[in-house]
Chains A and B, each alone.
Chain A
Amino acid sequence: EAQVTQNPRYLITVTGKKLTVTCSQNMNHEYMSWYRQDPGLGLRQIYYSMNVEVTDKGDVPEGYKVSRKEKRNFPLILESPSPNQTSLYFCASSPGTIGEQYFGPGTRLTVT
């Protein structure tokens, strides 16, 4: 089944404890993105990748890191999480610039 998977789905952590949210797609898509969704703010793009080893900042990259060493994986790293990074996070992939984005199921992160 074609899909985007994210792990974990739910995470509660403490301020400053490094964490990684994994994202993997099995559709051989070149484009991948990370978003955060907050009430009243919609989805905001954190980082995107247009191919392996090619990443760039979205609108809200501060406090996040990403890597794209393999085509299928695009992990999101929070080196020192803070409470303002409490949010719902989505990973998405797409076969091309104008192709449909396929979204993962979301990761609910709470930083205390």
Chain B
Amino acid sequence: AQTVTQSQPEMSVQEAETVTLSCTYDTSESDYYLFWYKQPPSRQMILVIRQEAYKQQNATENRFSVNFQKAAKSFSLKISDSQLGDAAMYFCARLGGFRGTYKYIFGTGTRLKVLA
């Protein structure tokens, strides 16, 4: 089965520090997309960052960056200068790897706590 694995159910970080959330995935395809979504207590799902598998350069969005290791099938999220508003559930997701379909596979999530 195609899977996305987040091995850290919960993480904590001090405000202003850096934290890395891990994600690994399984696919036999070369063409796919990877995402990190944030879900704060409001339950609203918010896109944090996106990576196209064919791009070798790691995506960056302000304080959020990824470490994409295609051969290792690893897609970790680094949050720099953590803020209290970063506290949320974070989900890693993969789209594609199935030609002609629109199948999203999500990980089980990592709950991030930010300590003041």
Contact = CB atoms under 8 A, between A and B. Distances in A.
A56 B99 CA distance: 13
A33 B105 CA distance: 12
A42 B52 CA distance: 22
B113 interface: no
Interface string B36-56: 010000011101001010000
A43 B94 CA distance: 12
Contacts of B93: 43
A101 B102 CA distance: 12
Interface of A: 31, 33, 35, 40-45, 48, 50, 56, 58-59, 88, 90, 92, 97-98, 100-101, 103, 105-106
A101 B47 contact: yes
Q: Is the interface of B mostly helix, strand, loop or mixed?
A: strand
30 contacts: A31-B102, A33-B102, A40-B108, A41-B108, A42-B6, A42-B91, A42-B108, A42-B109, A43-B104, A45-B103, A45-B105, A45-B106, A48-B102, A48-B103, A48-B104, A50-B102, A56-B102, A58-B103, A90-B45, A97-B95, A97-B96, A97-B102, A98-B50, A98-B95, A100-B50, A101-B37, A101-B47, A101-B104, A103-B45, A106-B43
Contacts of A98: 33, 50, 52, 95
Contacts of B97: none
Nearest to B9: A40
A43 B101 contact: no
Contacts of B106: 35, 42-45
A50 to B, nearest CB: 5
A40 B107 CA distance: 9
A88 B89 CA distance: 15
A45 B108 contact: no
B54 to A, nearest CB: 11
Contacts of B52: 98
Contacts of B109: 42
